[in-house]
Amino acid sequence: MKPYFEKTPYDDAFYRERVMPRIPSSVFDIHVHINLPEHIAMVPKERWFSDWALESGHLMPCEDAYACAKELYPGVQYKIAGFPWPIREADLHGNNAYLVKMRKLGRLTPFMVVRPSWPSEEVEKTLIEGGFVGFKPYPDMLSGVKGAEMSIFDFMPHEQWKILDRHKKALMLHLPRRGRIADSDNVRELKEARDKYPNVAIIIAHFGRSFCPIYLEEGLDKLGGADGFYFDNSAIINPAVYDVAFSRIPSERILYGSDMPILFWHGRQEWTERDYKNICREKFSWKIPRPAEEEATYTIYLYEHMRSVLDAIDRHGLPEEEKRGIFSDNAMRVFGLR
């Protein structure tokens, strides 16, 4: 296994004191990118440097994901729902086939990446024969610009929605548009999809890309609440976002996701009303230099992420049953695994 991160004594102490006493014994991580080197070998190097998340981590075989989880969360029974790197230059057919292989080995619950141009008959056949729990479409299939102004139905056409609806499958949805979940067009299309395709379990990734609470507040206001949707918390660390989520979204509709392998660096986030800034120790091109003594206090971002959700659960007084739901049971129910 390649070195994805370097744990320090400070990391060990952070986990031992702030995470380990509260983390459930079972975690079902529903947001993990799984691939092999050959699946992304054709992606131009400049693409990885076009976005901080792509640069942070874009390669992780299945066995490495489990090895990292074991090192990060010793003693925790860790399960993974994974999907390919949804980037348009990648070998998505090969990546999907690899996930099917891992499923057959009992290692993975897979989502299938889809291109909007793929023939519906081929997509449906692969979905069912591969044993995928659903689709992972992505705006990058049409545009390499994060938050591009496009319709959800541009990169996830109605014919693919119909396939999921027929088979009662799930959808991991990364929203387009700069306004995120609060964008009025996104809201209108989410309502349309919910009403037209009631058998699809729509999972809105990253709380609708709500790295700041104002997006989730405005989005839930426009949606009229969370009814008919699920939300994963992947990559969200802002405590104020969790306060909105746990106040306004029923806990049975919140699912834990890590976004591995993106968040293995040491650091934290800072926020304005509508934007965020990542602060890291590692030497990424997007690094914002800080004094060495400050950087020494940074822990692995995934630990900060885990602490944030655990702190919010405690702050809002959620019982153990609801905590288990967020970390495992809700996903098992959504995927029909229990």
In angstroms, the CA 102 to CA 70 distance is 18
Q: Does the reported pTM lie above 0.95?
A: yes
Enclosing domain of residue 275: 9-15+25-334
CATH of the domain at 202: 3.20.20.140
Asked if residue 1 belongs to a domain, the reply is: no
- Is residue 20 included in any domain, yes or no? no
DSSP string, 226-275: STT-EEE-TT---HHHHHHHHHHS-GGGEE----BTTT-SBEEEEE-SS-
Q: Tally the domains of the chain.
A: 1
Asked if 263 contacts 227 with a C-beta cutoff of 8 angstroms, the reply is: no
The answer to whether position 4 is within a domain reads: no
In a domain, 3, yes or no: no
Q: Would 299 be classed as within a structural domain?
A: yes
Residue 221: inside a domain:
yes
Per-residue pLDDT of the chain (338 residues; tens, 9 = 90+): 778 999 999 999 999 999 999 999 999 999 999 999 999 999 999 999 999 999 999 999 999 999 999 999 999 999 999 999 999 999 999 999 999 999 999 999 999 999 999 999 999 999 999 999 999 999 999 998 888 899 999 999 999 999 999 999 999 999 999 999 999 999 999 999 999 999 999 999 999 999 999 999 999 999 999 999 999 999 999 999 999 999 999 999 999 999 999 999 999 999 999 999 999 999 999 999 999 999 999 999 999 999 999 999 999 999 999 999 999 999 999 999 97
pLDDT digits (tens, 9 = 90+) for 132-186: 999 999 999 999 888 889 999 999 999 999 999 999 999 999 999 999 999 999 9
Q: In one letter, which amino acid is 48?
A: W
**Longest distance between any two alpha carbons in the chain, whole Å:** 58
